[in-house]
A and B are shown apart, each in its own frame.
Chain A
């Protein structure tokens, strides 16, 4: 009789209002995907360790990520997964160049972006030739050339 006594109280955890429906994290999951799988209590426990302003900012940023178009989010997730597989020093380099890219004047960003994308399509010998060309040197500043060089080498597709 005692052994047959049901163990009361085991229940599934409900989703918090405003969260995405609880689903299994996709194979290419990142820290945010795993964060979304945590219970609301666990998430709040983690955020409670931070200053309130920073915790609030993280909540808002996660919400914006979660509200992205699913296809856009998946593409970004896959890109991040490739990025996260880079060796640590290469990740640091890519981060630095992406930050520098972000600081470029608005009108220069699409131009530099296009150059990076075109460089990535080139076979290595041609890419090197392009990087060493006078035309490339004339069209881009030294900082922009470095951004193009490193991002075309290491930034994942």
Chain B
């Protein structure tokens, strides 16, 4: 969805963006409009980031229903904290900081024993995956499911922060500095997290080549 700033100005929102426009990402601009009461801007942010937040949380907790519930909580917190919002970092960094915090808390609270078992039970994982439109033979589907479970198992076996770092690095293409801000650590700590995580994943998944 391409958004033009003009409609939001016409809705009565009057923000002097001149002083901050040069340093803000566009999402932060939208969030400042939400702060001023512009619900349409919240909808734009939701539309833009909904999928990536849900997918990120899903790959962390590996349960679809929980991922959506936690993701809703993420956007709920974004909305509820609108009055105190200050663009001290990129909007996406803040958003993923909330998402990571909620997901890691859930993982710790639930002591996710069943998720490990579900990874061994292919039937329990269905329907999770939207297979591409191309037709797959039964054998190809089986091979795919086995492969998918290996990947999920490898990710789930990583320590939580390594897991979060890999998911942000691989699927969100976030830079080290951004991941560091999300996780609340230094850039060198992120490099270390990713190094150990990928080393573990290489050991576990290299046979899939």
Please report A residues at the B interface, Cβ cutoff 8 Å: 49-51, 53-54, 88, 91-92, 95-96, 99
Whether the Cβ atoms of A91 and B113 lie closer than 8 Å is yes
Whether the Cβ atoms of A49 and B65 lie closer than 8 Å is yes
**Which residues of chain A have C-beta atoms less than 8 A from B121's C-beta?**
99
Main SS class of interface, A: helix
Closest Cβ of chain B to A54, distance in Å, is 7
Q: In the complex the two chains form, what is the Cα distance from A88 to B121 in whole Å?
A: 18
**Which residues of chain A have C-beta atoms less than 8 A from B113's C-beta?**
88, 91-92
Q: Which of B54-74 contact A (CB under 8 A)?
A: 64-65, 68-69
How many residues belonging to B are interface residues under a CB distance threshold of 8 Å? 11
**Which residues of chain A have C-beta atoms less than 8 A from B127's C-beta?**
51, 53
Q: Which single member of A49, A50, A53, A92 contacts B117 (CB below 8 Å)?
A: A92
Whether the Cβ atoms of A49 and B68 lie closer than 8 Å is yes
How many A-B residue pairs lie within 8 Å, measured between CB atoms? 19
Q: Which single member of A51, A53, A95 contacts B64 (CB below 8 Å)?
A: A51
**Which residues of chain B have C-beta atoms less than 8 A from A92's C-beta?**
113, 116-117
Q: In the complex the two chains form, what is the Cα distance from A122 to B60 in whole Å?
A: 45
**Which residues of chain A have C-beta atoms less than 8 A from B69's C-beta?**
49
Closest Cβ of chain B to A32, distance in Å, is 16
**Which residues of chain A have C-beta atoms less than 8 A from B68's C-beta?**
49
B129 at the interface (CB under 8 A from A): no
Smallest Cβ-Cβ distance to B116: which chain A residue: A92
Whether the Cβ atoms of A95 and B117 lie closer than 8 Å is yes
Whether the Cβ atoms of A54 and B111 lie closer than 8 Å is no
Q: List 19 A-B contacts (CB under 8 A).
A: A49-B65, A49-B68, A49-B69, A50-B65, A51-B64, A51-B65, A51-B127, A53-B127, A54-B65, A88-B111, A88-B113, A91-B113, A92-B113, A92-B116, A92-B117, A95-B117, A96-B117, A96-B120, A99-B121
Q: In the complex the two chains form, what is the Cα distance from A95 to B117 in whole Å?
A: 9
Smallest Cβ-Cβ distance to B64: which chain A residue: A51
Q: Mask for B135-155, Cβ within 8 A of A = 1, else 0?
A: 000000000000000000000
**Which residues of chain A have C-beta atoms less than 8 A from B111's C-beta?**
88
Smallest Cβ-Cβ distance to A54: which chain B residue: B65
Closest Cβ of chain B to A131, distance in Å, is 25
Please indicate which of the listed interface residues B64, B65, B111 has the most CB atoms of chain A within 10 Å of its own CB. B65
